[in-house]
Structure 1
Amino acid sequence: MNQPNDLEYRIPIVDALNGFVQRIGQVMAWSNVLLIGIILVQVVLRYGFNNGQVYLEELIWHIYAVGFMFGLSFAITNDSHIRVDIVHMNLSRTAQHRWEIFGLMFLLLPFIVVIFLHSVEWVYYSYQIGESSQNPTGMPYRWVVKSVIPISFALLFIAAIARLIREITLLLHLAREPEEPYPGRVSMLRHLFRVQEQSDDVTRTTDKHGEG
C-alpha cells in the first residue's frame, strides 16, 4: 500500500523508547561544549605559556569518546547512520522493512550484545586493578571512561529494539491483516503498539489491521 509522502507514522512504545534515548543524548551532547572549552585552555597553556597539561590532553580524548559513543544511539533514533541508501530507496516498502528487520536482528543486535558483555568485564577488571594513565601526570580512574562503553551500548540496544518494533509493526500494518479479537487483558499492550498516521493537518489512529 502506497502512502502519501507527507504522512508520518507514530508508534507510542517506539516514541517512548526513542524519547528516553534522545533525552540522554541531548544531555551528553553538552560534553562537546566542555570539550571545546578544555581544548581552548590546553592551547593557551601550551602555546601561550609553554605549559601544556598531560591530564588535560587525556581528558580531551575521553570527552570526545563520550560524545561519540552516546551519539551512536541518538543517530539510530533519527535514522542518521550511513547505509547503502541508493539500493534501499529503490526497494518496495515491504522489502525495506524486511531488510531493516534482518539487519537489526542478525547484525546490529548480536554485535551490541557481544560488545556490551565484553565491555562489562573490561570495566570491572579496570576497577579491580585501579587502572590509571601510564603517564605519571595523567588521569586516574581509567575505569570511569571505560564505563562509557557498556552504558552507551545499553542505550544503543534500546534504540535498536525501538527501531525493530517500528519496522515489524509497520510491516504488519502495511500488510493490512484481517481483524482478530483481542482479550481485554492485552488491550493496553495493543494500544502501545498501535500505529498513528499523522500529517500536517489531520491525525488519525490505526492499528496494523486497519483504520480506527
Structure 2
Amino acid sequence: MSTEGTVHSGNVAGGNLLSQGAANTLIALVLKIRALVDWCGRWASLLFVPMIVITVYDVCLRKTGKLQIDLKYAAENIGLGPVFESTLLQETEWHLHTALFALVLGFGVVWNTQVRVDVIREHLRFRRKAWLELLGSTFFMIPFTICVFFFAAQFAYESWAIMEISASQVGLPYRYIIKTIFTLGLLVAILAGISVWLQSFLALFAPEGTRFELMTLEWPEDEGSTIEGKERMDV
C-alpha cells in the first residue's frame, strides 16, 4: 500500500460495523446526553455572579475594620447580623465555588474546553485521534470519575445521616447540600464521559458518511476549523 493510501485511510471516518439505524439511535442518545450536560453547565455558570459579588462584598467589609463590628451589632437588632459575619460569607463563597466547579466539569468535556497537552495528539490522523479518545474514556476518564463519584456519594450520604453543619458556630448549616451538589456534578461528568465514548465509537464504527456534531474530535474535512471547541476566526 502506498503512503498516500495509508494517509487517506487514516482520515476515513466510520467502519461500517454498525447499521445506519443503530448509528442513528446512538447519535440521538449522544445528542440528548450532551444537551443535558450543556443545560446543567449553562445554568450552573450563573453561580459565578453571586460568587463574585459575595467575594467582593466580603473583602470590602473586612477592610472596614471596626465599622464591620458596629454594623454587625446594629444589624442583629433586625435579624440581619449574619450578613456582616465574615465566616458565613467565606463559607458561602466556598460553597458557590464548589457548586460551580462541579456542575461545569461535564460542560467543559462536551465542549472540548478542558485543558489538553496535545504534543502528540494534534499530529495524529482522524482515526488514531478517535481511538485515543475511545481508549482514554474507557480506561481513564469514566472509571476515575465513577470512583470519585462513589466516594463522594458516601460522603454525601453520611452527611445527610447526621444532618452535618459547619464546624463553625457562625458558619453555614446544611453542609450535606453542597456535598450532594458535588456528587451530582460528578454524575454529570460521567454522563459527559459516556457521550464522548459514544461519539468516538460512532466516529470509528458507524457507516462511512455518517455525520453529526462532534465534541472532542473534528471530522477529517473540518480539521483545523475549530480551536478547543470554538470556531477558528480569521484575524
- Distance change in 2, residues 1:43/1:197 (3 Å): closer
Q: Aligned equivalents of 2:166 and 2:99: distance in 1? A: 17
Which residue of structure 2 lines up, in the alignment, with residue 181 of structure 1?
Answer: none
Q: Aligned equivalents of 1:197 and 1:128: distance in 2? A: 43
After superposition, give the CA deviation of every residue in 1:4-46 in whole Å (9 maximum; x if it has no partner).
Answer: xxxxxx9433222111111111111110001011112212322
Q: Aligned equivalents of 1:22 and 1:131: distance in 2? A: 31
Q: What letter matches 2:102 in structure 1?
A: M
Which residue of structure 1 lines up, in the alignment, with residue 38 of structure 2?
Answer: 22
Give the length in aligned residue pairs. 175
Q: Which runs of 5+ in 1 are unaligned?
A: 4-9, 178-193, 199-212
More strand per residue: 1
Q: Aligned equivalents of 1:32 and 1:197: distance in 2? A: 28
- Alignment of 1:85 onto 2:118: yes
Q: Aligned equivalents of 1:19 and 1:32: distance in 2? A: 21
Which residue of structure 1 lines up, in the alignment, with residue 170 of structure 2?
Answer: 137
Which residue of structure 2 lines up, in the alignment, with residue 62 of structure 1?
Answer: 95
After superposition, give the CA deviation of every residue in 1:80-128 in whole Å (9 maximum; x if it has no partner).
Answer: 1122312101112111111111110111111111111211111111111
Which residue of structure 2 lines up, in the alignment, with residue 71 of structure 1?
Answer: 104
Any conservation in 1 of the 2:98–2:182 contact (CA below 8 Å)? no
- Distance change in 2, residues 1:196/1:108 (3 Å): closer
RMSD: 2.3
**TM-score scaled to structure 1, two decimals?**
0.75
Q: Which runs of 5+ in 2 are unaligned?
A: 1-8, 13-23, 70-84, 215-235
Identify the structure with bigger relative contact order (alpha carbons < 8 Å, sequence gap 6+): 2
**TM-score scaled to structure 2, two decimals?**
0.68
- Alignment of 1:100 onto 2:116: no
- Alignment of 1:36 onto 2:52: yes
Which residue of structure 2 lines up, in the alignment, with residue 204 of structure 1?
Answer: none
Decide which structure has the larger Cα Rg and report it. 2
Alignment counterpart, residue 146 of structure 1, candidates 164, 167, 179 = 179
- Alignment of 1:47 onto 2:63: yes
Report percent identity of matched pairs.
24
